[in-house]
Structure 1
Amino acid sequence: MKTIIIMILAIITLATTACASKDSFTINGTITGLTDGTEICLVPGSTHKQEKTIATTTLSNGKFTFSGQVESPRMFYIQLKENSGVIQVMVENGVNATVTSKVETRDNNGQEWTSFSDTKVSGSPIHEEFLKKMAFKEELEQMFMSKNEKHKVISAQIGEARMNKNKILMDSLAKTKEYQEMAADENLFFKAAGEKTKQAVMDNKNSWWGPFLMLQSMSWFEEEQKEWFANFSPEAQKSYYGQIVYEELYPETLEGKQAPDFTVTDSQGKTLTLQELIKGKKYTLIDFWASWCGPCRREIPNLKALYKEFATKGLEIISISIDKDNAAWQKALQEEQFPWPNFLDKSNIADAYEVKLIPAIFLVDSTGKVLSIKLRGKALEEKIKEFLK
């Protein structure tokens, strides 16, 4: 990955010309709602990384220009320096793209956030193809909105009960017909989302579009995505985006190394470090999961069985959710009733542990040394029994 990033840094340049030759691309933009002199950034996109800006320019008379060369089609984000959404633009050499947009500034929990709207991209055939291949996401978004509208009453009731910490009411609502219908529709939606995403990726398994669509459509990969990658053609696997997917699916291991330290905050507002959490424990399982991750939820009964049998013998479990939606996480906690510490990842702990696939379970000893990152189910049970027999 470092090689790829360095390569991009070397080939992207800022230009003052407005035309692209067959060996380069140009993005000419017009943005309304910003003052002249505003810094505009060009950032690599669809890499699942917090990429650094590779070129900047300033807005002049509401316009800006970027120009450079790429070895193959690339997704770039155009964004402001801080607190802004992004404009997605796909380019390849020979493209002379035109971007128009306007900005709106709003308050986001006390922080000013600038978002783009009425965005149009023209002059880039590869971008048009990108929009066609991503059309299935619009269909899923409509399904999602329809589902939420259909169940907005029971959802609001559940949300209010959760906010008031009214467990009796939450349990009562969970038994209603409306709640059961909402849960069933959610399951159907996530099943459809998975099927449509896989179909879109597999329809493009013989080119770089396959791995690109994986990165564009999914925030995290699970074990089953290894099979997707195996079905890609050699061309797709070796492509720029194919290499990124491979590195996510098969990351370097932390086994034998010291587990990265981290600090989390519990429900009472108390901060705790990893060393404080494992103190006095012989072995600890650090479990990265998410409310929406089916395999993660299916692994929970196994963890509960281990905890019940070995908690008094020196086993601890720490669950860290990568959920972006706090309400979804809280809902999952209520449903699962974990008997061990649970935290929401608010400081990129998963990145420190190089988590690319979930569930990800790290077995560490009393000193914080990582003993395993691959064990789950029966294999994990046997290893814990071996250590704590």
Structure 2
Amino acid sequence: MFKIIVILSYLLAVSVFGIYGQGYEFGFKITGSVEGVKTGSTIFLMDTKNDTICSTKAVDSHFEMLGRLPFEGEMLLLGIVTESGIKKIVPVFVENDKIDIVCDFGSSGNDAVKIIGSSTHNEYVQVVNEESAILEGVKNRFLNESNATGKKIVISEYAESQIRELQGYRIMWILNHPDSYLSPWLLLRYFSESKELFRYFNALSRKALSGKYGKDLKSKMDTERLLAVGSVMPDFELTSVDGNLVKLSKLVGSYNFTIIDFWASWCGPCRSEFPEMKKNFSLFREKGVMVIGYSVDKMETSWRSTVLKESLPWINVIDTNDGANMKYNVEKLPTYFLLDSEGRIVNRFNDNKAIWDFVKESL
């Protein structure tokens, strides 16, 4: 069993009158001792995109790392590469503060890391533990009811109850912790509806919004404002399946309505809606309705083969650079935007039937 005792520390060098989010002069200094790991083993911190923040080699069971986070409360991955090449990783929420970490790579879940000094990580553990208790409570309630009545558990009702109670708990936690760096992380991770995001975003304090995920949430909200109903859809120019460049702003004026269908070849729900999509497209094409299939595939070959296999009759473009998420806040597939002849957003849908019902009523 590998045990790591890590001390994250730095000298606090900021005025008490400083502004949240400015960070500290020296960032963090990480020192630690490693039990059971030989000299030469690599200790590292990386972000969730697998970019290394800092790393070092263990020497006589000790190591030291220096670094600085631009924003507070970021989830990083603390890891070790052993002499045999085995990599072990645990998530930690790090702040520019003095943090003591006891990490046991032989354990799992919340037992794998113990932290003193990072309020964000301790709040994260609190939330995870409470969520586990909620799930256990829902399970026991359904089991007891099933045993008492002799009826089988309806999986859909069970899942809905889990989601409803978890989301209710998260909402109350966010409202009760407006200063926490974890609150915007919870919003980004578990909420996607614009109305909900704006409601709880506005409940957060300046401090919470100054952290890593507060900044990310603010950026997302800024994009959502650009995507409000009545706004002109942000333009794109992408390559179609036949090799031509398609510019949205030059296309929409030729149609009464344009539907942007965000999808991917690996998305089962997206592909399952193609038959109905093709049926409605054939009915409304002559009435001035165009569909643009906006693929978020990373592999162009997968996109092309799927367009061919599914015989998609509309305009098909691909964006391999994550533009759908960055420009249009598309986090669920499929997602549909309905635009008018001026390129203004009429509505946004996650359901194929809903968008065609809207088109039928509007023409």
Question: Does the alignment reach a TM-score above 0.5?
Answer: yes
Q: How many residues align?
A: 292
Deviation at 1:246, TM superposition (A): 1.4
The AA in structure 2 aligned to 1:211 is P
Q: Is the 8 A contact 2:72 2:212 kept in 1?
A: no
Deviation larger for 373-382 or 64-73: 373-382
2:36 counterpart of 1:37: no
TM-score (norm 2): 0.55
Q: 2:218 aligns with which of 237, 246, 249?
A: 246
Deviation at 1:262, TM superposition (A): 8.9
Secondary structure at 2:112 match in 1: strand
Query: Does the Cα contact within 8 Å between 2:40 and 2:57 map onto a contact in 1?
Result: yes
Judged with a 3 Å threshold, the aligned counterparts in structure 2 of structure 1 residues 80 and 354 are, in CA distance, closer, same or farther, namely farther
Question: Residues 1-389 of structure 1 correspond to what in structure 2 (within 5 A)?
Answer: 20-23=10-13, 24-29=27-32, 36-44=39-47, 50=49, 52-61=51-60, 63-70=62-69, 73-75=72-74, 76-79=76-79, 86-102=89-105, 119-126=112-119, 127-140=121-134, 142=136, 178=152, 181-215=154-188, 217-218=189-190, 221-223=192-194, 224-251=196-223, 255-258=233-236, 260=238, 283-287=258-262, 309-310=283-284, 315-316=290-291, 318=293, 350-351=324-325, 354-356=328-330, 358=332, 360-362=335-337, 371=343, 375-376=347-348
The answer to whether the 8 Å contact 1:285/1:317 transfers is yes
Structure 1 315/230 Cα, relative in aligned 2: closer, same or farther at 3 Å? same
Work out the CA distance in 1 between the residues paired with 2:42 and 2:139: 35
Instruction: Name the CA distance, whole Å, in 2 between partners of 1:38 and 1:259.
Output: 48
How far has the Cα of 1:242 moved from its partner?
2.0
Pick closer, same or farther for the CA change 1:53–1:256 going to 2, 3 Å.
same
Between the aligned partners of 1:349 and 1:103, the Cα distance in structure 2 is 40
1:232 aligns to what SS in structure 2? coil
- Measured on the aligned residues, the alpha-carbon RMSD in Å equals 5.8
> Closer, same or farther in 2 for the Cα pair 1:95/1:235, shift >3 Å?
closer
* Alpha carbons 2:73, 2:211 under 8 Å: kept: no
Structure ID, larger Rg:
2
Partner deviation per Cα, 1:362-387 (whole Å, 9 max, x = no partner):
4589xxx994566236996699579x
Q: Which runs of 5+ in 2 are unaligned?
A: 1-6, 14-26, 145-150, 247-253, 298-311
Distance 1:236 1:55 in 2: 25
CA 1:275/1:54 → structure 2, altered by over 3 Å: closer, same or farther? same
Identity among equivalent pairs (%): 17
Shift of 1:200: 1.2
Instruction: Supply the AA of the counterpart residue of 2:125.
Output: L
Aligned pair in 2 of structure 1 residues 225, 39: CA closer, same or farther (>3 Å)? Answer: same
Deviations 1:276-325 (A, max 9, x none): 9xxxx97443146999x9xx9xxx9x989965852675544759799xxx
Q: Any unmatched runs of 5+ in structure 1?
A: 1-16, 105-114, 151-176, 264-271, 323-338
